Amino acid sequence: MLSTREARTAKKNVAGRSKKDDQDGSYSSLSAKIQAWQDSADSRQKHLQQVVNGKSSMVRTCSTKTGSVRGASSSTHRKSDSTTSSDSKNHSSGYYNSGDDESVSEMVNALNETATDTRKEFLTALVVTSKGQLGSSSLSNSTELNEIKQSVERLRAQRTHVERLSQRNEDLERQLVEQKAENETMQREVFTLRGAEQENVAYLQSVKLLEQRAHELEETCTAKKIELRTVTKKLNCAEQERDELSQKIQDIRHDYGDEIKALRDKNKKLLQLVEQLKQSNEAQTDEHKRMEQHWKQKMKAATRANSETIDSLQQELEVSCQKSSKLEVEVYELDKQVQKLLATTVRQTTIIEECDRMLFEAEAQQQQTRTSYEMQLQLSSELNTKNERLELQVASLNQSKNLETIELEKKVSLLERELGEYKDRSKTAEEALRKKDKEIEVIQRACVTRDENRLHLDEVLLVLLCVNRQ
């Protein structure tokens, strides 16, 4: 910016010259022009100061300081020099403080351009005045030349100062550009941080949803655990019933096995007795036949012989009657034995019927156990499907959270262990059912053998009855 000190010094020089040479009208016109230029420069500066005051507070303070300094510079030229330098410094510092505002930099550039224009006009005016002075008065004093030289040097110093200020303004503009770039980067970072905050909010929402899912899964796991406990209780009850049935079957075997063995032994003994009786009856029949033949021969001989043999025959008849009475007693005893055998067969039939009833009850219990086993298989299939669903849910959760997947994997491993135990129990139940089926088959075979023995005994008894009737 062009300082008013040089303009005022030139004005004073022109005033001194006018005192020396009142006749020179051109010099007065130059002073009037200089004053007009100075007034125009002051008006421009005031207008620019008003604009700067409307833009930023820092430039307003600097402009007020420069106005006060310029008001004080009318008294002394040196004070005006110091105020202009301080004005430029304050203006630069104010510009530096308000470097974030682009409008301030534009106004400073406009001020610099106006200062350069006023400086050029003032230099041209000085050149014109110097030429007029040289043409009009060749006898000017050396003091005036020295003053002109000093003013030129001052103008050069101001020019260098203005160049320095322009360089400083360029540096400040570069700093502004850098600060703008930094601000843009910071704004980008702020946008990225806002996006990250939004992502964090979304992640928090997803975490809350995952926690809700985990709570739901825990509730389902607890419900399934309760179902498994109920199923295990049912299995334990079925196993207890199975054990009780097996114990009952074993007791029945122990109770009726000895009786069956005793009955078999009795049947064997009775068969032996029947065979012995058959043999004795055959022998007796043979003896009767022989005796009849013998008596026939004797009767023939008696008819042929004398009456003396009749007494002997009567005696022999009495002996034969005694033997026949003995045989009748033996037959009566055999009938009693047959009745006893019939009673034993009736008892055996009642025992067999009781065994059949027990077998029927065992088959009914077996059917119940089978139905319970089928229910257990259905429950196991449902648990398998539910476990598959849980495994799918665990896979989805594995993609979202690793920690929750570890906990869920532990829970799934526990469920798999429980399922393995349940499968082992089901296998043991199947093996027990197979054993029961085998035992029932053995019992059925024993019953068949009993029926066959009973039929055989009935046939033997019928044969004996037929023999006794004969």
Distance CA 238, CA 241 (A): 5
| Same domain, residue pair 297 and 347 | yes
User: How confident is the model over 266-295, as pLDDT tens digits?
Assistant: 667 767 776 776 676 677 667 767 766 766
For the chain, the distance separating the N- and C-terminal CA atoms, rounded to the nearest angstrom, is 169
* Residue 7: predicted pLDDT: 54
- Between CA 210 and CA 218, with CA 213 as vertex, the angle to 5 degrees is 125
Q: How confident is the model at residue 470 (pLDDT cuts 50, 70, 90)?
A: low
**Residue 339: pLDDT over 50:** yes
C-beta of residue 390 within 8 angstroms of C-beta of residue 225: no
| Same domain, residue pair 158 and 268 | no
* Residue 263: predicted pLDDT: 65
| Same domain, residue pair 192 and 245 | no
**Residue 122: pLDDT over 70:** no
Please identify, among 200, 226, 244, the residue that sits at the C-terminal boundary of a domain: 200
**Residue 12: pLDDT over 60:** no
| Same domain, residue pair 342 and 231 | yes
**Residue 347: pLDDT over 50:** yes
* Residue 330: predicted pLDDT: 67
Distance CA 9, CA 147 (A): 9
* Residue 269: predicted pLDDT: 76
| Same domain, residue pair 354 and 456 | yes
| Same domain, residue pair 319 and 460 | yes
Q: Which residue has the tokens 């096995």?
A: 257
* Residue 87: predicted pLDDT: 43
Number of domains in the chain: 2
pTM, entire model: 0.24
Q: How far is CA 446 from CA 256, 258, 331, 366, 435, in A?
A: 11, 13, 35, 19, 16
| Same domain, residue pair 232 and 129 | no
Please identify, among 171, 200, 229, the residue that sits at the C-terminal boundary of a domain: 200
Mean pLDDT of 181-196: 85
| Same domain, residue pair 195 and 210 | no
Mean pLDDT of 214-221: 81
**Residue 93: pLDDT over 50:** no
| Same domain, residue pair 214 and 194 | no
Please identify, among 184, 200, 216, the residue that sits at the C-terminal boundary of a domain: 200
| Same domain, residue pair 158 and 260 | no
Q: How far is CA 222 from CA 228, 302, 377, in A?
A: 10, 113, 21
Distance CA 428, CA 246 (A): 14
| Same domain, residue pair 168 and 295 | no
Residue 29 domain boundaries = 4-135+142-200
**Residue 219: pLDDT over 80:** yes
Mean pLDDT across the chain? 67
Mean pLDDT of 100-105: 52
| Same domain, residue pair 337 and 398 | yes
* Residue 305: predicted pLDDT: 59
